[in-house]
Structure 1
């Protein structure tokens, strides 16, 4: 089992151990284990570890089709989970939208300022003047009690059924590309219309994040599920790594946020 770590990054060991503990819990207790909201890279790790395990299966749900952050449910193979098992709820922010403009960043900051770590809530959705976000059902009361203001604006939170979720303004364009290596600088220069030298400059100046963490190593090796953001160029994600060509280039399917 220790060999499993060689397939992932050293800084992911703690999360891998957590997933292995979840798997063991399900095997030993014959009951399900529900995660917090995981980012795409973490979801990829869970799928890789659990795989086609004979006794433990997994499901994923983030409140709506196309969610980026999702809760994962590990469960015994004889169970058939439903969406309700993911204990996911929807809150909408009511604020004086005629006089105030609220941003995704402000909502994110305000949620974290009341003591919520990023894994404790899901996607934040913005459409025109409407803003919604996904939370664990068990935290509805806490969030309603603590979040009374965003920026200088007083707000109210209204719980809605998941079928009233707004369509996110985010739209991902999928495309295939090839890169000479899975290095961060090579992928940036392939996904965006910039030279490899420009990509290296962005990375070295702390303007690039992988999975929401700043990375300053141009040789950082990317993997499936990674979400990459470069200041001034937007966000992209590696959907799949499809293998190598006859010329030893890597074939990737990527999503680019429009």
Structure 2
């Protein structure tokens, strides 16, 4: 483990300790996939409490962690037992309702706006001094974008972000409680010999198994936020596989088995 990863592991353990001893919910900044994997890999004796991850919507890549003392753990169970409200956030998202803000950034005059990219929005926010850990996912919805942000910075960004490249922009808050997001996905059907990580990667990214095993060994593949280095890792229905620099997909499940005993599967690739 590198030094910065060791520091993060100690910080995560300390937040869990504070939650346990002080009886309060403690929160991290937004964690990327590698940082989430470090959290998942912490030994049990380093954690004093349970934790949950949430990034503002179901399936978010960058997520905050909340460490839950016993009282909050019972609250989590209560939320989990309730039926999720139609069109609203997942039940556990209630724990983050005052921690995550959703901002819609759009051009003042769409007709004359530059074609802004994810990098443009990210760069504009970082130029304001907003650290990457204070930002969650940035969802592109041309000609606007949705940005997930540490709620403490909401007012600052809404006041200060007025221009991206040569485009004048306006920022509005989206009601976190009622926010819902359905990602655009490409359905991919195909056959595999087994529901292994390397086989599904080859199907999702139209490459051979051998060309993708290097990505797994290089630590670029995550299953549900956990770093995975085994080619033969068995994938379960609804698992989300993310590959750095290539994208992510959800394994929607098995459809049937062919006469040659190959498995027909369905993948939802995020686009």
TM-score, with structure 2 as normaliser: 0.63
1:1-258 superposed matches below 5 A: 12-49=5-42, 56-79=49-72, 80=75, 82-84=94-96, 86-95=98-107, 96-100=109-113, 101-163=115-177, 165=179, 167=181, 169-171=183-185, 177-178=195-196, 192-195=205-208, 219-221=217-219, 222=221, 224=223, 225=225, 226=227, 227-230=242-245, 234-236=246-248, 256-258=269-271
Structure 1 residue 36: Cα displacement: 0.8
Q: Is the 8 A contact 1:93 1:130 kept in 2?
A: yes
Residues 228, 235 of structure 1: 8 Å contact kept: yes
Structure 1, unaligned stretches of length 5 or more?
A: 181-185, 209-217, 240-253
- Aligned mates of 2:197, 2:59 — CA distance in 1: 27
User: Is the 8 Å Cα contact of residues 15 and 26 (structure 2) preserved in structure 1?
Assistant: yes
Sort the Cα spacing of 1:238 and 1:257 in 2 relative to 1 into closer, same or farther, 3 A. closer
Residue deviations 1:80-129, cap 9 Å, x none?
26335551111111312222232222111211222222211111122242
Unpaired runs of 5+ residues, structure 2, are 77-93, 228-241, 252-266
Map of 1:249 onto structure 2: none
SS at match of 1:38: coil
TM-score w.r.t. length of structure 1: 0.66
The CA deviation at 1:55 is 5.2
- Cα–Cα, structure 1 residues 256 and 30, in superposed 2: closer, same or farther, change >3 Å? same
Deviation at 1:49, TM superposition (A): 3.1
Count the aligned residue pairs: 215
State the alpha-carbon separation in 2 of the partners of residues 52 and 86 from structure 1.
30
8 Å CA contact 2:106, 2:143 repeated in 1: no
CA RMSD in angstroms, aligned pairs only:
3.8
**Preserved contact between residue 53 and residue 63 of structure 2 (Cα < 8 Å):** yes
Q: Determine the C-alpha separation between the residues in 2 that align with 1:177 and 1:10.
A: 36
**CA pair 170-110 structure 1, distance change in 2 beyond 3 A:** farther
Report the CA distance between 1:34 and its aligned residue. Answer: 1.0
In structure 1, what is the equivalent of residue 83 of structure 2? none
2:129 aligned counterpart, secondary structure:
coil
- Check conservation: 2:185, 2:268, Cα contact below 8 A: no
SS of aligned partner of 1:26? helix
